[in-house]
Amino acid sequence: MKTVVTHLSPDLDAICAVWLIKKYLKGWEDASVDCVPTGSTLNGQKVDSDDDIIHVDTGYGKFDHHDTSDYVSAARLVFDDLKKKKQISRHDLESVDRLVEIVTFSDHFQQVFFPNPDDDYYLMFASDLIHHFKSHSKTDLELFEFGNNILDATLYGIRQKIRAEVDIDEGYVFKSSYGRSIGLNCGNSQSMVLAQKRGYMLVIQKNPSRHFVKIKLHPSAKKNLKKVYGKLLKKDARAMWIYHPSGKMIINGSAHNPHVIASKLSLDSLVDIVKKV
């Protein structure tokens, strides 16, 4: 029976290292997980002496970084080994690399350099959530399950962000009365989010498969979308348009309400409408 060993009361780094092995190392997906006191090994055996036992973040073996002050983590050591052995698909390589960087960053407490690092917002970061969950979990295995869900969700989010970066690069950038604007022909909701984080004052998103439309202003915008909304009602009266109370968003279909009549308007037509406001 293959076993992955880490320390008791595992932190994000330890959980991620175990997660990487069970998710990507061929033949280890059903490996059991055991926890030992920090620095020790399973049954006191010599670390890395048994091919069916992998120690991570404990035991001072090849996947333990506690013998150096370098910017590295157990998760990074495991990732580098998996990459060298070509165990991670090309599709996942960049997204997993970026996830591991977040874990390493957190393990070295670099979040202390964030703006206003004592703000409550940061209490919902993965490393903090795992720490908080320890007060609720009855066993370390429950903690692993919780951490695995966080890592799976984060990996999905990073994949979506990478796709969003491509969507923005392929987007149509234009000037409007609202400021720097962009039109996106994609179904990835994170593309609009990322575009606004990058400073676009107005973003138009047309889903090419479901034909839904979303138009959104940056929260700092001084104007509203009332004129655009009026023109959309005239150009495509059959579609269901929802004008958000904030005045900064127009929605035609979404995951929250997919049973609506999608707009027939193309992205080019939508851009043209906004340009003329």
My answer on whether 7 and 103 are in the same domain is yes
CATH of residue 246: 3.10.310
pTM: 0.93
My answer on whether 31 and 146 are in the same domain is yes
My answer on whether 75 and 150 are in the same domain is yes
My answer on whether 93 and 219 are in the same domain is no
What is the per-residue pLDDT across 257-277, written as a single tens digit (0 to 9) for each? 777 899 999 999 999 999 999
Residue 256 pLDDT > 80: no
Confidence of residue 253 (pLDDT cuts 50, 70, 90): confident
What is the per-residue pLDDT across 135-150, written as a single tens digit (0 to 9) for each? 999 999 999 999 999 9
My answer on whether 268 and 193 are in the same domain is yes
Residue 14 pLDDT > 90: yes
Domains: count for the chain: 2
Query: SS3 for 202?
Result: strand
pLDDT at 272: 98
Which range of residues forms the domain containing residue 8?
3-163
My answer on whether 45 and 156 are in the same domain is yes
End position of a domain, from candidates 143, 163, 183? 163
The tokens for 43 are: 């049954």
Q: Point out the least confidently predicted range of 7-11, 35-39, 92-96, 258-262.
A: 258-262
End position of a domain, from candidates 163, 179, 214? 163
Average pLDDT over residues 97-103: 99
Average pLDDT over residues 119-146: 95
My answer on whether 32 and 136 are in the same domain is yes
My answer on whether 109 and 32 are in the same domain is yes
Query: SS3 for 36?
Result: strand
My answer on whether 67 and 132 are in the same domain is yes
Residue 255 pLDDT > 80: no
What is the per-residue pLDDT across 220-231, written as a single tens digit (0 to 9) for each? 999 999 999 999
What is the per-residue pLDDT across 38-77, written as a single tens digit (0 to 9) for each? 999 999 999 999 999 999 999 999 999 999 999 999 999 9
pLDDT at 259: 79
Burial class (CB in 10 A: 0-12, 13-18, 19+), 3: middle
E-assigned strands of the chain? 3-7, 32-36, 53-55, 172-176, 179-185, 202-206, 213-217, 242-243, 249-252
Total Cβ atoms within 10 A of residue 202: 27
pLDDT at 258: 74
Mean pLDDT of the chain: 97
Q: What percent of the chain has pLDDT over 70?
A: 100
End position of a domain, from candidates 106, 139, 163? 163
Q: What percent of the chain has pLDDT over 90?
A: 97
Residue 236 pLDDT > 80: yes
Residue 32 pLDDT > 90: yes
My answer on whether 142 and 13 are in the same domain is yes
My answer on whether 14 and 143 are in the same domain is yes
Beta strands 3-7 and 32-36, pairing class: parallel
My answer on whether 104 and 31 are in the same domain is yes
